[in-house]
Structure 1
Amino acid sequence: RTGQGEALRFELAAPSLSSRSGARFAGSADSRIGYLFAAPRPEVIATGRWTFGGGGLPVGAMELDRRADGRMTGLAQIDAYQAGGARLVLDSVRFSSAPGTAMRFSTSATLSGPLAGGRVEGLRVPIAGGLAATGGMAFNGGCHRVTANKVDVSGLRLVNNGVDLCSAPGAPLFSVGPAGGRGAVRLPGLKLRGTSGASPFALDSGPGEIDLARWRWSLANADVRIGAGDSVTHFAAGRLSGVAGGQGMAGTLADAQGKIGAVPLDMSEIAGNWRWADGALTLDGGLVLTDAAADKRFAPLISRDAHLRFADGVIDARAGFDERESGRKILDTVIRHRFADSSGAADLIVKELRFDDNFQPEQLTTLAQGVVANVQGSVVGDGRIEWNADGVTSRGTFATANTDLAAAFGPVTGLTSTLTFDDLLGLHSAPGQTVALNEVNPGIPVVDGKIDYQLLGGNRVRIEGGRWPFAGGELLLHPATLDFSATQPRRLMFDVVGVDAAVFLQQFGFENINATGKFDGTLPVEFDGLGGRVVNGRIDARDGGGTLAYVGELSNHNLGTMANFAFGALRSLKYDDLTIVLNGNLDGEMVTEIRFGGIGKGVGAKRNFLVDQVAKIPLIFNIRVEGPFRGLIFSAKSFYDPSVLVEQNLSQLLQAQRDAEAAAAAKAAPVQPPASEPVQ
């Protein structure tokens, strides 16, 4: 038909269209469709009832009405549309337009079907917008809530959740035109709840954005929690971004932190690249590992090669860790966690942890402070941490060989031990652990020792006993419990058993002294943060006494009548009892009190009338020596070398001879040498 004036209208009555594919589009008897060529803009006009379907098209019908004022309204009913395992249901679609304006439409779509390796059920999306005269389409701005009855992806199930999608103020949510689509969707935040396996799942976040043209998105302050109570797995990211691609989705994350289940380890400063493809989430980057305990057992460790994979409800991760400040390699880890039952395990592998001048144990753990220093050696071993709904267990075995170190009681060389933990995280070991020591030198070196011990956790050590061969006898360590977390002194008790005087002097290089006799005693030692000290240590000669003989160079010189007499007598001294009392610091001043009783002329002593008379006098020598403990061996040498004592105290000896009556009363004047100076 032709119109009048400037208007021209083309119109079809009750049209019916079909295709070879079986698609059909037909109008009722009173239906009309046409095109109005009118100034200033043309428009499509349609009225009546229309049906469509077949050939892959959804089945439906719509009613269109054109009013006298030129306004057109419509209502479409479309049957559910299925293809394979997907199903799309549209609510009633409403149309409207006015002369000179774009066609408007509104409906809601409900989608169920496959989604990213999983499935979505009841995903409901509101749809509202307009058709432009140029053929484009724009979706309304503002905020629109998208909900889903259920989403299942790789073991993650979200039930009855919703997300708000908002546009920029005054802008459409999304538009499609001849040049393609564009739009920026804003997310005020996320709050999703569901389950991962059998564990509760929660995702909360701050604001985010989606660039629909490039399918890029970003999210701030994302916080994910899987599990409940002490077994919760937690991950939070300050910044998270991604982009969709043909093979899935990938992106970056930064300023992230996390914790896996009940494992008492915290991860922080996580940053790197992530990827979602084929139902698996992978992450490659770096992180810092710290102890989750209130009292930190180790210093922060850093990894630059961490790799994590999450698929089918399982996390698999591996990483190598260095000490953060020094960069020294500490260990490698392999972790697996199953969300279905909140169980998993972490393997810890120490290939070789070396301590040297550039790296010491106290840089790794504060537990070493005040216990060991100047360590030279290495540690190897492995550990395993396992967890489930009932709790966490751990174990491990670590070994060191021929390690040298400094301890509060003196330097240690050649330390060799294999330590088996039955609670690695609690630093608790099985009983019966053994450490072998080539040499310990608290002032007097003792070699080839062995200590049996057990770690009790809480920075406590149970000493089960120790034993060293020592100068023909033994040095024995009593059982004791040491608490290195407490401020009070820690006490050890040593027994000296059957020390042979001759072997002792030979072992420590007293070439001018011969001696016989055996000694026993007890050395109580206390340690604290300031070092170690001997408290009322006592060593006694066994019954029967022994002899001391000085055969040094001074005895062969002419030193005068009285000195020659004294050295002649000192060629052989016989004692009935000898007591040594020790008090003082191992690394400072030590006071040694030596008491001789029943000294007389021994076999081989030079004989004359005066010597025979002096030998009848019962003498007691009380000697007090003060000096650094590591110099006391030389003080003892001065004692066993009588020339030193005689030279320093000759006047007292002569006075003792002139005062025979006082000596007979068993109280001779004490021989008191000045404090011994350490030999350089």
Structure 2
Amino acid sequence: MAQDADQAEEARPAGRKRRIAGKSAGILCIALLLALAIAWLQRERIVDDVIADELAKRGIEATYTVESIATGRQVLTDIVIGDPALPDLTIERMEVLTNPRFGMPELRELRLTRPRLYGSYRDGQASFGALDPLLFTDGEEPFEIPDLSVVIDDGRALMVTDYGRVGVKLEGAGHLRGGFSGELAAVAPEVDASGCSVREASLYGTVAIDAERPQFAGPLRFARLLCEDGGVEVAGAGVELVLQAERNLGNLSGSYDLAAESVAISEIQAALQGEGRFAWRDDDLTLDYDLVAGDAKTPYADFASLAVEGRVRATGSFAQIEIEGDLAGEDLRMGPQLDGAIASLAEAGQGTLVEPLVNRLGLNLARALRDSRIDGSFNLRLQDGRASLAIPRANLRGQSGGSILSVSRGQATFGDGGLPRFAGNILTGGEGLPFIRGRMEQGASGAVEMRLAMREYSAGASRLTIPDLIVRQTAAGGLTVDGSAIASGPIPGGMVRSLAVPLNGSVAPNGDLAFWRECTQVQFAGLVVANLTLERDAIRLCPEGAQPIFRQTDAGLRFAATTDSLDLAGRLSETPLRIASGPVRLAYPGTATAQNVDAILGGDESEQRFSFAALTMTLDGGDPSGAFTGGDIKLAAVPLDIGDADGGWAFADGVLRIDDAELTVQDREGPDRFEPIIARGASLVLADNVINANALLRNPGTGIPLSRIDIRHDLDTGAGFADLDIDGVTFGEALQPDDLTRLALGVVANVEGTITGNGRINWNEGGVTSTGRFSSESLNLAAAFGPLQGASGTVEFTDLLGLTTAPDQRIRIAAVNPGIEVYEGEVSFQLVEGEVLQLQRASWPFMGGTLTMRPITMRFGEAEERSYVFVIEGLEASRFVERIELGNLAASGIFDGTIPVIFDADGNGRLENGLLMSRPPGGHISYIGELTYEDMSFFANYAFAALRDLRYDRMEVSMNGPLTGELVTQVRFNGIGQGDTAERNIITRAIADLPIDMRINIRAPFHKLITSIRALYDPSAVRDPRSLGLLSDDGVRLREAVDQETVDVMDAAAAAEAERELQQRLDAEPGAEPDIQDDESDDLP
């Protein structure tokens, strides 16, 4: 009993506990239900407070309306987030479906009606205004797609960016981790980014999510894409896209199918279509492509179609890119730039060997490319600004299948700051195309070396061969060139044969060219320019200083070279030619100069020499021009040389001109027949191988114009002529004949008068002829035989250069005074070779008769004795007395005789064996004046009266002695008797029947002879020696002689006292008068 009691007692407290616990639970449930009831009744206010607190905590400004709150479903309307005036998001109606659970309910589905989102993208940052705190957090957790379903009805967004405005529309429904599907559309009327612009771009397609992987399928289209700086333009393009993103949205893959009406990249244009797949994973891109360009046009080639298939790999966010592929093209054609380059090269080489070679190349290349095919493979790698292109193989084949261009093992590297690096093999060929074989390889030092060789390529007479050419790449990225070229064919105005030019130079990394830093030998087998042919020769060209001969930089082209000398041989037409010179310098732009230039035409017998001390030519890209100094021209056919020629020249439109030249014309013969004459302002024109020149020739000492000369010479035929026109050369104090020719010395002097005339010189292969006619209306001069006045007439030269006249040239002479002045004569002569003067005849009317000079031959320039023999026929004594003004004498009789005047080699003249004889029956001589001597003795007056009128049967007058000294004249009378007026006396009657031979000797200078004869009968004709200063007043001799100039001065001063001085002479002592007849006259024969 006790045990039961204990058990009962222990059991009671437990029951109470259960009852208390049960009551507490009931109370809690009642309280919870009460709270829930209260909360349900206040649910909209509670939800509103929760949303408001959460938005306030995140700093988001928003307004909304709670439409309804129910278990598992809440509805908000008129949601506006951000500034109500410019909201960032508006939602007309949002319905949230949840699954009730303890704690926060589970979000099951979100339904949005007409949501409108507004955002921006500025300076690389996206912003959605008040939504930014919700969208952009600092968390590093990977992106995860929300686990809920979404229904979007007419959702739209507008993004305003730095590049343009983009509008988006989205509709769809489904779970975001799988099952969502909908439609997406985006439009961008105008987008500009990074120098490119896109117009009328649109995107439309379906969107879906499968296993948390978003997908898109649909076309991307745009009307035009333009990148002006990059030269890219795409029109009418569309890309059909199929895209799928991974769960983290960081990886993307898909496929594309594109088509573009026109794609232009720089000068490349084509219609493009193609397809392929791509994958972007962990910043790496893999893209397969299969593209076809239709009607592709490039600057160098056009394709009917060009297909490229391959793969693109990019790693490290495009830090490294590799593009590999195979290409195949059909129906190639030359592009406009290649075609234009060939045409321009042919045009630039017009008239040279380049033109036919390039024309043949262009014609055959165009023919070979018809229906041609190209195939090959390539691999392009881009990294760190460098590019490497590998071409394992590439072949261009013509319609026949023959190879036009083949490349193998090609390698090119770009972007090291220098020139591209190349390696590989090339081979060109084909019918009518040059055969070129080249190999590029990289040496142990890393430098690339290319070896080229081209077989002879010909077109007509043009040929070009490149036996070897080595192009090496330097460590700095430049190139060196070493090789040679051999060319034959036309050049401007001629032909060149086997011109061998070494090619050695360099190309700097910046593209500057420098060739021939050392002396270079240029050789040719033959050179023809116009009618000039040069034989095989070589010219050694050397650079000036440290600069190369040829340079091409940004500043332009420079060419400077020198050569020590030239020694060239050849022909001008068929005439042998040799050209030699001293140093020659060429500088472009600048001046070309040549020293001591000597050109010789013809052989020894027909040599024509053109020499210049210096020749210059301006080289500035325009028409060549220059100057020359020290010119000497000698034509074998013309015995006149041109020397000291200076002037300027210019060459334009195939015409060579020389203007304003100065030169000297001189006789080639030695000693000179002509004194040098000069020309100023001379001009010359060489056109169509014909020279036309003119100049005004002048006397060098005075500048007096002498003759205008016009020259024409045909270089083809070697024929020409020169016309001389003398308008009038006046001789006087400023100009004398011996100023023009030494041949006038000793022949004529003191010439006064004007000569006019013209001459003509002709030359051809047969020789030289020259003629001329020269006239004067009145010419005064002093000749060896006496002063001559009024010479007139025309002289005709049959050989003007040889100074040979036609025979019997006649000159009229108004007066000549060989001692006694004679008038109105005529001289006939002939000049032979400028050395021999043949006086064939000279005659004058002379005192009732004639004075004739016998023919004489004189050789100019030779020391010889010359004899002038004057023949007197029919001289009337009465007219002689009248002519010499012997007023107190009367004479009669006819005389004949000769007067030889002889000049020795030194020019000293004398009369030798001069003789005048009276004709029968003689004559008489009488004194008809009054006696003037008052102191004469009776017997003297008696004798004079008896002898004042003498009759003679024969009279001889002989003359001998020097012209400049004392001349001895002997007068001999035979058969003397008294005349009718003489007084007869015992003496005359006593001697009347005796034979009387009377001889008289007269000694006097030649020019005083006539005065002395007059003094025989008229003492007033004798000058008072005191008046001449020969004697003093007391008869003392003061000097031996007095010159004529002094006498003339005295006469001018004492003319008024002539009569008084004559009376003083008569009153002087007898010794003061000169002897008329010396005592030794009796001793003469």
Q: Specify if TM > 0.5.
A: yes
| Structure 1 pair 8–364 and aligned structure 2 pair: CA distance change class (3 A) | farther
1:271 corresponds to 2:649 = no
Select between 485-494 and 354-363 the one with higher mean Cα deviation. Answer: 485-494
Q: What amino acid does structure 1 have at the position aligned with 2:683?
A: H
Aligned-pair CA distance for 1:235: 1.1
Aligned-pair CA distance for 1:526: 0.5
The answer to whether the Cα contact below 8 Å between 2:803 and 2:833 also exists between their aligned partners in 1 is yes
User: 1:343 corresponds to which residue?
Assistant: 719
Q: Aligned partners of 2:518 and 2:440: how far apart in 1?
A: 28
* Structure 1 residue matching 2:1011: 3-state secondary structure: helix
The answer to whether the Cα contact below 8 Å between 2:412 and 2:423 also exists between their aligned partners in 1 is no
1:589 corresponds to 2:904 = no
Deviations 1:207-241 (A, max 9, x none): 222123x1531111111112222322211112111
User: 2:610 corresponds to which residue?
Assistant: 235
1:554 corresponds to 2:931 = yes
* Structure 2 residue matching 1:565: 3-state secondary structure: helix
Deviations 1:78-98 (A, max 9, x none): 577789997655444322225
User: 1:420 corresponds to which residue?
Assistant: 796
| Structure 1 pair 584–58 and aligned structure 2 pair: CA distance change class (3 A) | same
1:298 corresponds to 2:674 = yes
The answer to whether the Cα contact below 8 Å between 1:112 and 1:120 also exists between their aligned partners in 2 is yes
Q: Aligned partners of 2:452 and 2:325: how far apart in 1?
A: 20
User: 1:619 corresponds to which residue?
Assistant: 996
| Structure 1 pair 499–99 and aligned structure 2 pair: CA distance change class (3 A) | closer
1:131 corresponds to 2:507 = yes
User: 1:429 corresponds to which residue?
Assistant: 805
User: 2:335 corresponds to which residue?
Assistant: 20
1:226 corresponds to 2:601 = yes
1:491 corresponds to 2:875 = no
Q: What amino acid does structure 2 have at the position aligned with 1:396?
A: G
Q: What amino acid does structure 2 have at the position aligned with 1:35?
A: T
Q: How does 1:655-670 map to 2 (within 5 A)?
A: none
The answer to whether the Cα contact below 8 Å between 2:421 and 2:473 also exists between their aligned partners in 1 is no
The answer to whether the Cα contact below 8 Å between 1:66 and 1:73 also exists between their aligned partners in 2 is yes
Q: Aligned partners of 1:12 and 1:181: how far apart in 2?
A: 41
1:190 corresponds to 2:602 = no
The answer to whether the Cα contact below 8 Å between 1:565 and 1:611 also exists between their aligned partners in 2 is no
* Structure 1 residue matching 2:840: 3-state secondary structure: strand
Q: Aligned partners of 2:919 and 2:967: how far apart in 1?
A: 24
The answer to whether the Cα contact below 8 Å between 1:550 and 1:640 also exists between their aligned partners in 2 is yes
Aligned-pair CA distance for 1:187: 1.6
Tell me which structure has the larger Cα radius of gyration.
2
Select between 279-288 and 99-108 the one with higher mean Cα deviation. Answer: 99-108
Select between 294-303 and 142-151 the one with higher mean Cα deviation. Answer: 142-151
Select between 622-631 and 65-74 the one with higher mean Cα deviation. Answer: 65-74
Q: How does 1:140-219 map to 2 (within 5 A)?
A: 140-168=516-544, 170-212=546-588, 214-219=589-594
- In the alignment, structure 1 segments of 5+ residues that lack a partner are 646-669, 676-680
Q: Aligned partners of 1:561 and 1:36: how far apart in 2?
A: 145
Query: Per chain length, whose mean CA-contact separation is higher, i.e. which structure has more relative contact order (CA < 8 Å, sep 6+)?
Result: 1
Q: Aligned partners of 1:61 and 1:103: how far apart in 2?
A: 19
User: 2:897 corresponds to which residue?
Assistant: 521
User: 1:455 corresponds to which residue?
Assistant: 831
Q: Aligned partners of 2:746 and 2:763: how far apart in 1?
A: 33
Q: How does 1:206-605 map to 2 (within 5 A)?
A: 206-212=582-588, 214-284=589-659, 285-457=661-833, 459-528=835-904, 529-554=906-931, 561-605=938-982
Deviations 1:185-222 (A, max 9, x none): 1223222222111111221112222123x153111111
Q: What amino acid does structure 2 have at the position aligned with 1:258?
A: I
Q: What amino acid does structure 2 have at the position aligned with 1:279?
A: G
| Structure 1 pair 674–460 and aligned structure 2 pair: CA distance change class (3 A) | farther
Aligned-pair CA distance for 1:564: 3.9
* Structure 2 residue matching 1:634: 3-state secondary structure: helix
The answer to whether the Cα contact below 8 Å between 1:141 and 1:170 also exists between their aligned partners in 2 is yes
Q: Aligned partners of 2:720 and 2:418: how far apart in 1?
A: 69
Q: What amino acid does structure 1 have at the position aligned with 2:962?
A: N
- In the alignment, structure 2 segments of 5+ residues that lack a partner are 1-312, 339-368, 377-390, 395-407, 1023-1074, 1081-1085
Select between 628-637 and 66-75 the one with higher mean Cα deviation. Answer: 66-75
Q: Aligned partners of 2:326 and 2:877: how far apart in 1?
A: 130
Aligned-pair CA distance for 1:472: 0.9
Deviations 1:470-509 (A, max 9, x none): 1111112222222233323101222211111112112222
The answer to whether the Cα contact below 8 Å between 1:9 and 1:36 also exists between their aligned partners in 2 is no
Q: Aligned partners of 1:374 and 1:642: how far apart in 2?
A: 35
Q: How large is the Cα RMSD of the aligned pairs?
A: 3.5
Q: What amino acid does structure 1 have at the position aligned with 2:1007?
A: R
* Structure 2 residue matching 1:639: 3-state secondary structure: helix
The answer to whether the Cα contact below 8 Å between 2:785 and 2:868 also exists between their aligned partners in 1 is no
Q: What amino acid does structure 1 have at the position aligned with 2:413?
A: Y
Q: TM-score, normalised by structure 1?
A: 0.86
Q: Aligned partners of 2:1020 and 2:617: how far apart in 1?
A: 90
Q: TM-score, normalised by structure 2?
A: 0.55
User: 1:650 corresponds to which residue?
Assistant: none
Aligned-pair CA distance for 1:413: 0.8
Please, which of 658, 672, 679 is the counterpart of residue 1077 of structure 2?
672
Structure 1 or 2: larger helix share? 2
The answer to whether the Cα contact below 8 Å between 1:478 and 1:493 also exists between their aligned partners in 2 is yes
Q: Aligned partners of 2:436 and 2:898: how far apart in 1?
A: 104
The answer to whether the Cα contact below 8 Å between 2:673 and 2:834 also exists between their aligned partners in 1 is no
The answer to whether the Cα contact below 8 Å between 2:418 and 2:477 also exists between their aligned partners in 1 is no
Deviations 1:102-157 (A, max 9, x none): 22223333445554444445433222222211122221311222233443333222
Aligned-pair CA distance for 1:603: 1.4
Q: Aligned partners of 2:425 and 2:531: how far apart in 1?
A: 47
| Structure 1 pair 16–191 and aligned structure 2 pair: CA distance change class (3 A) | farther
| Structure 1 pair 152–67 and aligned structure 2 pair: CA distance change class (3 A) | closer
Percent identity reads 35
Please, which of 32, 35, 38 is the counterpart of residue 413 of structure 2?
35
Deviations 1:600-640 (A, max 9, x none): 22113334444433434443322111112111111122235
The answer to whether the Cα contact below 8 Å between 1:10 and 1:34 also exists between their aligned partners in 2 is no
Q: How does 1:12-161 map to 2 (within 5 A)?
A: 20-21=335-336, 23=338, 28-29=393-394, 30-35=408-413, 44-50=420-426, 60=436, 62-67=438-443, 69-77=445-453, 89-112=465-488, 115-161=491-537
Q: Aligned partners of 2:445 and 2:324: how far apart in 1?
A: 21
Q: How many residues align?
A: 645
